[in-house]
Structure 1
């Protein structure tokens, strides 16, 4: 590893060229040559990753070397497992250098190797969730992030990893309901939260999560101005979770249903302040409550949140 990374890359490029000529094929195996090219690319990546001599670490160049190694594995050797792992290494390094667009491209290629080429959906689900996180947190592409989370949830569910699946579906439902694109998005969110309730009840998971799911369902039904559905949700929640029927979550939902029926903004304000003392309103609840508020007030009313 005393050579410069640039020299190693040049050697790798020469060795990654398709082998031609009958005599050359008798002397050297094309597969061996391509494996050597991959090793050289990886060596160069490590040098860039560590920094050589007086140079500094260059994660982007290291990532590029891993991508080139992956391309050789994929296209010339059809070694999809090796290609996937090198794509993942490239993704990690691009992410470290905050080159998120390139990181996403690498990650998607790795995921395709795991799924399309190898059928390893459980293995791919972890990276699919990471894809959702980058799309959500770094690029603020909530629509694509939601789709990524949902797909990861589907793959986890296929492998009976219920807890991980629920985590993904919750992210999907939260993002979908906040996008405010259409009523269909809200209906799909409600459907997903109900699925989380069913999954949780079947496994007897902690009631805190269940209370929150029921509250979210009821709040979204109020966004749709469907107080009857919200009342049914509250009744079901109190019946299924009898020990927690007087919980703060259910008290809040009951008060908000009353506020909506009576068109009482003052009562809504008081109810939210009481709940906020018990449990700080998070971004999701604040956003949804503002939507409920907008349907209860005319322009110019005092802000109650």
Structure 2
């Protein structure tokens, strides 16, 4: 980055500020003034992006968006806020979320729910990856899922519901997690392309019920899932879930550890399963012998 390039970007920004703050003359209108200022802010923002000055780029795009709003250019304003969010993602997640929420407002008002869902999913990912706000990430995944479902993008909706379910389980909101896993599983059963994944969702639901300490509900759920697809009883996922339930019923930490070890030798446990199994094991240790 040369000093000249940096100076040029700030000069353009200053020109945009002056244009936006100028009074209108006899032969121009406020709308024209803000259109021209918006164009200048956009040019400055793009220069800042090239210079990797992302906070400045985001601020300039945000000012562009405000100018577009004053001209009632809603589509252009929405796009400017989205450009601002992409710049703010480089180190300023809170500002990125605010910019995305502005974009989403415009998209929803315009009935563009599929695009609104895409942006809401971005919000969820920022909450999850940058600010570690699991509840807000979960809420955004659910909202995106509903919008995708309304636009008949069912596969994408189910991915959002699955992500929300995982987060509910992480926060020990087990009943909601189970409901979401079952919702995704029910839809997956309707297609040969997705039917193979049902056993994974049901396993997660059964582990959530076990983590709640509600073993009666867990066993009833297992039978319900078999009634929906009788091949489930022959899967490693079903046998693993039942073995976990039996070890918890017996209050036997050693048997529980053995079950997990045997399963992990063939199917490596992912981070989610490892975390919930640790919660289940803690429950055994705190309240041994449930039968």
TM over 0.5: yes
Task: Give the drift of 1:14.
Answer: 2.6
Q: Which moved more, 1:160-169 or 1:229-238?
A: 229-238
Distance 2:230 2:174 in 1: 27
Relative to the length of structure 1, the TM-score reads 0.87
Counterpart among 144, 149, 161 of residue 152 in structure 1: 144
Counterpart among 92, 99, 112 of residue 106 in structure 1: 99
Task: Give the drift of 1:18.
Answer: 7.2
Contact 1:100–1:134 (Cα < 8 Å) also in 2? yes
Distance 1:14 1:192 in 2: 53
Structure 2 counterpart of 1:174: 166
CA-to-partner distance for each residue in 1:47-106, whole Å, 9 max, x for gaps? 22223xxxxx312211111110001112x11212111111111111111x3221221121
Structure 2 counterpart of 1:227: 215
Structure 2 unaligned blocks of 5 or more: none
Counterpart among 86, 102, 107 of residue 80 in structure 2: 86
Distance 1:189 1:251 in 2: 21
Contact 1:207–1:241 (Cα < 8 Å) also in 2? no
Distance 1:18 1:156 in 2: 44
Structure 2 counterpart of 1:33: 33
Structure 1 counterpart of 2:16: 12
Structure 1 counterpart of 2:198: 210
Distance 2:195 2:255 in 1: 27
**Is the alpha carbon distance of 1:231 and 1:205 closer, same or farther for their aligned partners in structure 2, counting shifts above 3 Å?**
farther
Q: Which moved more, 1:231-240 or 1:81-90?
A: 231-240
Structure 1 counterpart of 2:122: 130
Counterpart among 105, 110, 132 of residue 140 in structure 1: 132
Task: Give the drift of 1:127.
Answer: 1.0
Distance 2:197 2:242 in 1: 18
CA-to-partner distance for each residue in 1:119-153, whole Å, 9 max, x for gaps? 32211101110111111011111111111111100
Structure 2 counterpart of 1:275: 263
Structure 2 counterpart of 1:198: 186
Structure 1 counterpart of 2:63: 68
Distance 2:229 2:194 in 1: 11
Task: Give the drift of 1:31.
Answer: 2.1
Structure 1 unaligned blocks of 5 or more: 52-56
Distance 1:18 1:5 in 2: 20
Task: Give the drift of 1:244.
Answer: 4.3
Structure 2 counterpart of 1:54: none
Distance 1:38 1:203 in 2: 49
SS at match of 1:28: coil
Structure 2 counterpart of 1:58: 53
SS at match of 1:4: helix
Distance 1:179 1:103 in 2: 25
CA-to-partner distance for each residue in 1:174-231, whole Å, 9 max, x for gaps? 1111113xxxx21111111111111212334433421111111111111222222211
